Structure 1
Amino acid sequence: MAKRKRLAPPKTDYLDTPAPSAILPEPPRRAPPIADVAGHASTTAALEEMSDTLRRAREEGRMALELPLDQIVTDYLVRDRINVDEGEMEVLIASIRQRGQQTPIEVAPLPGGRYGLISGWRRLRAITRLAETGEAQPQILAFLRQPEQASDAYLAMVEENEIRVGLSYYERARIAARAVEQGVYPDERSALRSLYHAASRAKRSKIGSFLTLVKHLDGVLHFPESIGERAGLILARELDQAPAIARRIAAHIQADPPQTPLDELDRINAALSEIAAAAKAETKIKNQTPKRGSETNFTRQIHAGLHVVRHDITNPKGGRLTIKGAAVDENLADDLIAWLAERSAQK
């Protein structure tokens, strides 16, 4: 008898099973070559634009740079600040210690990877002190400037200090004089008009008067920045009339060096008092002089600060001449002695 064949139940998911070829991963779809080129070009252009923007920001001084302190040349310009108040410096150091450097300094690029300081000398000194004690990194934030001429750099320094720290009349005059000496400006008038173009004509005139003090007393005075406006103008007028006053002031200061600005003002006043007393005595003698030819004294004023007194010139036994005044100095004495010797030799 034949054996029955068992039938399996029908497969209901037969048609749902994917074909073997259908389970293989599809190859990645490649973009057209022109799209790849365009994308790469766009990325390159964006990087170049960013690089150019950063470069221009750096060159135009709109981006602060972090520079090592030893790359800053502090004597790139003749500084307009003569002395710095130690109390003010301590306040600045405390501020930077607590809040960091808030305002970058200004520098100009120099050969060899160095930078010349234009403005920010006090900030540079403060950060240098903090770096020496380990309280700050030996670096400073700086804006890069590109002054076309030296006069532009000097102008930037003066303007920055005029805004941040008021300069004395002496300091203003001194920087103008030094700029002329270095050939930045052809003369003092040009320096005053350029450096202090924003000042009134009256203020520029006062700064110009202080140029007389710089000319005769720079290096002599210990506290020149402490000379006030009125005292400075009076002293300038006296020096214009009798330049030899400068030697008398120098003698007083050298004989008893001042320790404070008030001490120095006392030395100046003492010298001026001596000059005034001598001038008053000469004026009194002049007012009392009789007509020329008498046997009493006769005084003649050669110019301001120089008088000749004749004593009994008509006396048969011989007369006497006295030359006196603020203008009498070693040079005049040497010239007079040489002239007398030459005159005697000709007889």
Structure 2
Amino acid sequence: MARRNLFQPPPPPDSTEDAATGDLKPRFPNTGAMSGVKSTLKDLSSNAVREIPVDLIEEDGPKDRLSFSDADVASLAASIKEHGQQVPIMVRPLADKPGRYKIVYGRRRLRALQSIGMSARALVRTLSDEQAILAQGQENSHRLDPSFIEKALFAAQLSDNGYDQPVILDALAIDKPMLSRMTKVARTIPEAVIQMIGSAHGVGRRRWEDLADMAKGSNADLIRVVSDLGLDKTPTSDDRFARVSDAISRIGKAVGATKPAAHMIVSSDGKTLAEVKDSPRALTVKMSKVDTPEFAQWMRDNAEVELKRLYEAWKSDQQSD
């Protein structure tokens, strides 16, 4: 059975479809944030599209797309100028600014309309923040899917703006593990670097995660490194991603080549007690559970006491110096 398009106005009450469905249960429960979105979408049946001057519509809030290119906006503007605005945007009134609105979805269309000075055909809906995010997320499923990195940035923005995790999961139609992966990538790679790369629709989650891991391990100023690559001369965002990935990979290999070897601590009877590694971020002591399993267990049980003792001994030495 075909999945119903939630953004398509429902048929009139006396249509064949209504007669056939009879007393079927509603698709969504009449509670919670989804209830508000359901009611909002039902309002589409009235075809209540209004003409609103674009200077009355504000664009702030979480974005599910990276920046639009001038060429992309210009192409859409030319189409609207010739054929009119075929698909309305959605806005919601601002309670603290009577007569003004905030965009819910349709930012690219709004930008195109602003460029040619045309009023926007808009659906006006009174929505809470959560309902607006859910509506924005649902609308995504009826157009070109955002890329992984666009979804990751959107998820991080929603989290930073205080949205509850269930709302973020519903808006993006993802589960908790995927949300964790997305936020890790979005918080590891500087947003300025992501903006320079672009949406990269051909690059999936795994490659972005690999890039985040390389970026974390390189300990480099990624914004400076990527700025020096001259990405503005690389035509596609997929190619820009590849160039950035190669550059950070080379830095990571160079860092790895200059790292000092691990220091092995060996007991008087020739057993390996521990391996000590020094890095710019941490000093790591790895105990051997092969050569000295009982000692490793004892150290685990007494680590707090022994480390505090060593710290006090170090402080005493510092004071005596």
Which range, TM-score by smaller chain?
Answer: 0.5 to 0.7
Instruction: Report how far residue 263 of structure 1 moved.
Output: 4.6
Equivalent-residue separation in structure 2 for 1:174 and 1:87 (angstroms): 23
Instruction: Report how far residue 172 of structure 1 moved.
Output: 0.8
Residue pair 1:172, 1:207 contacting (<8 A) in 2 also? no
Equivalent-residue separation in structure 2 for 1:305 and 1:292 (angstroms): 27
Partner of 2:292: none
Equivalent-residue separation in structure 2 for 1:307 and 1:224 (angstroms): 37
SS at match of 2:191: coil
Residue pair 1:68, 1:139 contacting (<8 A) in 2 also? yes
Partner of 1:270: 247
Superposition pairs for residues 139-218 of structure 1, below 5 Å?
139-147=119-127, 149-185=128-164, 187=165, 190-197=166-173, 199=174, 201=175, 205-206=177-178, 208-218=180-190
Superposition pairs for residues 254-265 of structure 1, below 5 Å?
254-256=227-229, 258-259=231-232, 260=234, 261=237, 262-263=239-240, 265=242
Q: 1:67 aligns with which of 37, 49, 52?
A: 52
Alignment of 1:225 onto 2:199: yes
TM-score normalised by the chain length of structure 2: 0.61
Spell out, residue by residue over 1:119-166, the C-alpha distance to the aligned partner (whole angstroms, 9 max, x if none). Answer: 1111111111122xxxxxx3121111121x311101212222332232
Partner of 2:101: 115
Residue pair 1:248, 1:271 contacting (<8 A) in 2 also? no
TM-score normalised by the chain length of structure 1: 0.57
Alignment of 1:89 onto 2:69: no
Specify every segment of 5 or more residues in structure 1 that has no aligned partner in the other structure, as ranges: 1-55, 132-137, 310-338
Spell out, residue by residue over 1:166-197, the C-alpha distance to the aligned partner (whole angstroms, 9 max, x if none). Answer: 21111111111111211222x4xx35422123
Which amino acid in the other structure matches residue 226 of structure 2? I
Spell out, residue by residue over 1:27-85, the C-alpha distance to the aligned partner (whole angstroms, 9 max, x if none). Answer: xxxxxxxxxxxxxxxxxxxxxxxxxxxxx99x94531111112211121x222211224
> What is the RMSD computed on CA atoms of the aligned residues?
3.9
CA 1:206 to 1:92, structure 2 compared with 1: closer, same or farther past 3 Å?
Answer: same
Pick the structure with greater CA Rg. 1
Structure scoring higher RCO (CA < 8 A, sep ≥ 6) equals: 2
Partner of 2:36: none
SS at match of 1:66: strand
Residue pair 2:265, 2:275 contacting (<8 A) in 1 also? no
Instruction: Report how far residue 213 of structure 1 moved.
Output: 2.2
Instruction: Report how far residue 233 of structure 1 moved.
Output: 2.3
Instruction: Report how far residue 254 of structure 1 moved.
Output: 4.6
Residue pair 1:64, 1:142 contacting (<8 A) in 2 also? yes
Spell out, residue by residue over 1:219-248, the C-alpha distance to the aligned partner (whole angstroms, 9 max, x if none). Answer: 330225227113202124x26xx8453644
Superposition pairs for residues 328-339 of structure 1, below 5 Å?
none
SS at match of 1:220: helix
Residue pair 1:216, 1:243 contacting (<8 A) in 2 also? yes
SS at match of 1:225: coil
Specify every segment of 5 or more residues in structure 2 that has no aligned partner in the other structure, as ranges: 1-38, 286-311
Which amino acid in the other structure matches residue 148 of structure 2? Y
Residue pair 1:258, 1:264 contacting (<8 A) in 2 also? no
CA 1:251 to 1:141, structure 2 compared with 1: closer, same or farther past 3 Å?
Answer: closer
Equivalent-residue separation in structure 2 for 1:343 and 1:92 (angstroms): 72
Equivalent-residue separation in structure 1 for 2:316 and 2:248 (angstroms): 35
